[in-house]
Amino acid sequence: MTDKKRGIVKKTVVSTKHSTPTGATEIDIDLIIEDIHQPRKEFNQDTLRELTETVKLRGVKSPISVRPNPDKPGTYIINHGARRYRASINAGLKTIPAFIDTDYSEADQVIENLQRDNLTSREIADFIGRQLAAGKTKSDIARQLGKTNPYITTHAALLDLPDPIDEIYRSGRCTDVTAIYDLTRLYKANKEEVISWLNLSAPEVISRLDVKHFSKFLELKKQQGAIDSDEQSQQAEDKSSSATDKHAKHDVPASLLDSIYHLIKKDNRKPQDLIRELSRDDKKLLTTKVKDYFEEGRNCPNMIQYTINALQDGRFSAKGSGALQLIAFLYGAERSTNFDLFKILDELANQEAG
């Protein structure tokens, strides 16, 4: 079969106005198809439009990689370069520069996208699922991708999520794979508590730190044991009135605590640097109010009921002043001997984003 019949256009007879990159071959776009097993399933339409405009102006400067299609001789399957292929079609090109590579696998496609941080967690999980179904072990897959076994395990957890956790993942409330994995483990042991917590915290985003705090809460609850319902009711009533007074006391610095939280979380400011920049009065106010919640955690007679009340009335939350107050309370609840403001602020600073 001649090169012309196979749809290959030699560099000396390129049919486009753009030059072909050195070493590549121009192939008729109509003879190329995408790989149905390509791990990338989601294409950002905005960036694809931008790429299309670039292709119209400059052509395809980085050749795609293809392999011969065993089911239809004379045609090709894309190894990598699906975005460039789609942009070329949108730009109206008839041919595209390509390298023909017969030594290519699905794992290579995943690795190529992983190195660019281009795959979503769900796409990685789908690939892992197909490899497990093919009989490979998690260790085999880890070696294939150059990742650790825990990396494979946490992503594989996305393949079979409980409905409530699958819902928060798909809705975007929590996309941190480690947080989802840890939350799934908590769900298996504390189903009702996890469901209640997810509903109570809606619609706020759930971070890895939030899951860590919730896990501590469940551990403390387990240690404390069951409390007589009559005693709970009486203490809840007492706490309700005192909580109202305490809440009023904490209203004053809420804006300061919110500012501290956002400077640490959004602006990535280090707590030590941040404290140095505060005025003497603000530093004293911050220390006093955070310490108040630390002491409340240390001295709280009914930690479970108090925390539930604080969650319900908004003093404890997943972000802002509520997050600082909750962290301080939990540190105190661990019966820590000394109050350490930087330790509490570092809990925010060291959190990995989801």
User: For residue 22, what pLDDT is reported?
Assistant: 47
For the chain, list the domains and their CATH numbers. 8-105 (3.90.1530.10), 120-157 (1.10.10.730), 224-349 (no CATH)
User: For residue 338, what pLDDT is reported?
Assistant: 82
User: For residue 253, what pLDDT is reported?
Assistant: 41
Please report, for the chain, how many H helices and E strands are present, in that order.
Answer: 17, 6
Answer yes or no: are the C-beta atoms of 181 and 165 closer than 8 Å: no
Q: d(Cα 221, Cα 305) in Å, to the nearest integer? A: 10
211-231 tens-digit pLDDT:
887 887 787 777 665 443 444
User: Which two three-digit tokens encode residue 341?
Assistant: 């403001």
Q: Is the pTM for the entire model greater than 0.75? A: no
Using DSSP's 3-state secondary structure scheme, residue 133 falls into helix
Which residues, in sequence order, are CB contacts of 171 under 8 Å at separation 6+?
none
Residues of the chain under the 70 pLDDT cut: 1-23, 38-42, 104-118, 223-255, 335-337, 351-354
User: For residue 247, what pLDDT is reported?
Assistant: 43
Answer yes or no: are the C-beta atoms of 196 and 340 closer than 8 Å: no
Which residues, in sequence order, are CB contacts of 14 under 8 Å at separation 6+?
20, 26, 95
For residue 63, cis peptide bond before it (omega within 30 degrees of 0): no
Spatial CA neighbour of 68 closest among 103, 40, 93, 39? 103
141-175 tens-digit pLDDT:
888 777 788 889 999 989 889 999 999 998 888 88
